């Protein structure tokens, strides 16, 4: 007798493939995961302020501070202990001028900080230095200006070469060329090699976009920018241009290439990763960090879940190295027993 109330269990004809089989338990999902994050892939950007007597909270980046030299060293040791793969230092000077002289001064804040961190942690992590003039110029641009107030590409290259020598001399393993000047990689590589610093690594910001996501960073470095950087950073509408920039940087000797920002440019990141024969990095910039923190503070998202999902998306798109202000927290989360 047939029970009219029963729901017949019928296997649909031809339903041989059931992807859900591989999602049924946490252990199964871990086993078949295509991409994994590791603490060693994470780089922590850090700010150090000249003359600071105590760490100062950056209001638009909760949990991130402008460090004193002493607190920077302590935080660097903490990051190394957490397993973070690298540190990227940014300096905030008290004096700025037209050519950014503090960037090449051995006693300038960034070079002092590099020496202090390198003395403290040695080769236990990869120490990176932001190689750009914007934090050190009174006009806030990434290069020196000509008589018409425009960024002078070729004159800037000479300053970049001097910065590279100063930063590597102060202890940087890696110089991060973020200014988007034409020819910057080749110019810096030649200067380092001619000085016998052939082991210094050049990280090229191959695709750095003129983005609105940098807003909180401007607070972090106390930016004095007048105007915008649209004449040298990339147009957000362009993707093919990024591959041209990539090829030029590779031809000029880049050891690592980077896409910045991260999440809004996953398509560019994937395209760069498909073309590059050197490691690819992505920078989860201040605006990306601030959005996660702000939404979490309102209770709108699960903070740690979204943090890890965003970082995983960068890894999935092809980043082997990820610069993120969440680096220490993410490294600890990744190190917890499953």
Query: pLDDT digits over 77-97, tens only?
Result: 999 999 999 999 999 999 999
pLDDT computed for residue 3 by the predictor? 58
Which percentage of the chain shows pLDDT scores above 70?
96
Cβ(137)–Cβ(129) under 8 Å? no
Strands 56-57 and 65-67: antiparallel
Residue 2 — very low, low, confident or very high, per pLDDT cuts 50/70/90?
A: low
Mean pLDDT of the chain: 94
Show Cβ contacts of residue 6 under 8 Å, excluding neighbours closer than 6 positions.
none
CB atoms within 10 A of CB 234: 24
3-state secondary structure of 174: strand
Cβ(187)–Cβ(131) under 8 Å? no
Residue 234 — very low, low, confident or very high, per pLDDT cuts 50/70/90?
A: very high
Which residue in the list 208, 229, 315, 326 is annotated as catalytic?
208
3-state secondary structure of 146: coil
In terms of pLDDT, which residue wins out, 7 or 158?
158
Q: Is the pTM of this model over 0.85?
A: yes
Cβ(335)–Cβ(100) under 8 Å? no
Residue 230 — very low, low, confident or very high, per pLDDT cuts 50/70/90?
A: confident
Residues 72 and 67: their CA atoms lie apart, in Å, by 5
Q: Please indicate whether residue 260 is annotated as part of the active site.
A: yes
Residue range 244-271: average pLDDT? 98
pLDDT computed for residue 45 by the predictor? 98
Residues 334 and 338: their CA atoms lie apart, in Å, by 9
pLDDT computed for residue 39 by the predictor? 97
Residues 276 and 271: their CA atoms lie apart, in Å, by 9
Residue 142 — very low, low, confident or very high, per pLDDT cuts 50/70/90?
A: confident
Residues 214 and 94: their CA atoms lie apart, in Å, by 21
Lowest mean pLDDT among 8-12, 146-150, 219-223: 8-12
pLDDT digits (tens, 9 = 90+) for 272-297: 999 999 999 999 999 999 999 999 99
Q: Please indicate whether residue 208 is annotated as part of the active site.
A: yes
Asked whether the predicted pLDDT for residue 5 surpasses 70, the reply is: no
State the DSSP string of 232-285.
TSBPTT-SHHHHHHHHHHHHTT-SEEEEESSGGGHHHHHHHHHH-SS-EEEE--
List of domains in the chain: 37-335 (3.20.20.70)
Residue 324 — very low, low, confident or very high, per pLDDT cuts 50/70/90?
A: very high
Residue 140 — very low, low, confident or very high, per pLDDT cuts 50/70/90?
A: confident
CB atoms within 10 A of CB 218: 15
Cβ(103)–Cβ(133) under 8 Å? yes
Nearest 5°: the CA angle 302, 304, 309 is 95
Which residue in the list 96, 139, 173, 260 is annotated as catalytic?
260
CB atoms within 10 A of CB 83: 17
Round to the nearest angstrom and report the end-to-end CA distance of the chain: 50
CB atoms within 10 A of CB 8: 6
């Amino acid at each position: 007798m047939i029970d009219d109330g029963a729901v017949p269990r019928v296997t649909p004809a031809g339903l041989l493939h059931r992807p859900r089989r591989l999602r049924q338990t946490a252990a199964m999902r871990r086993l078949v995961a295509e991409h994994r994050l590791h603490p060693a892939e994470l780089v922590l950007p850090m700010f150090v302020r000249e003359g600071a007597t105590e760490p100062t909270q950056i209001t638009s980046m909760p949990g991130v501070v402008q460090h004193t030299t002493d607190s920077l060293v302590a935080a660097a040791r903490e990051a190394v202990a957490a397993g973070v793969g690298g540190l990227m230092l940014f300096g905030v000077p008290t004096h700025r001028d037209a050519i950014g002289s503090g960037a090449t001064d051995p006693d300038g804040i960034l070079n002092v900080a590099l020496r202090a961190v390198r003395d403290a942690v040695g080769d236990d992590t990869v120490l990176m230095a932001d190689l750009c003039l914007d934090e050190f110029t009174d006009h806030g641009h990434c290069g020196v200006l000509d008589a018409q107030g425009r960024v002078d590409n070729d004159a800037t290259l000479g300053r970049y070469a001097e910065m590279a020598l100063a930063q590597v001399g102060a202890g940087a393993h890696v110089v991060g060329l973020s200014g988007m000047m034409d020819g910057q990689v080749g110019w810096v590589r030649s200067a380092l090699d001619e000085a016998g610093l052939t082991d210094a690594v050049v990280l090229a910001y191959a695709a750095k976009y003129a983005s609105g996501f940098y807003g909180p960073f401007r607070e972090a470095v106390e930016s004095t920018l007048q105007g915008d950087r649209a004449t040298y950073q990339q147009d957000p509408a362009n993707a093919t241009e990024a591959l041209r920039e990539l090829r030029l940087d590779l031809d000029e000797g880049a050891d690592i290439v980077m896409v910045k920002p991260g999440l809004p440019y996953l398509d560019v990141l994937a395209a760069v990763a498909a073309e590059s024969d050197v490691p690819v990095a992505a920078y989860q910039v201040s605006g990306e960090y601030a959005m996660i923190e702000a939404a979490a503070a309102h209770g709108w998202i699960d903070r740690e879940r979204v943090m890890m999902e965003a970082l995983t998306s960068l890894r999935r798109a092809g980043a082997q190295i990820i610069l993120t202000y969440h680096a220490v927290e993410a490294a600890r989360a990744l190190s917890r027993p499953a």
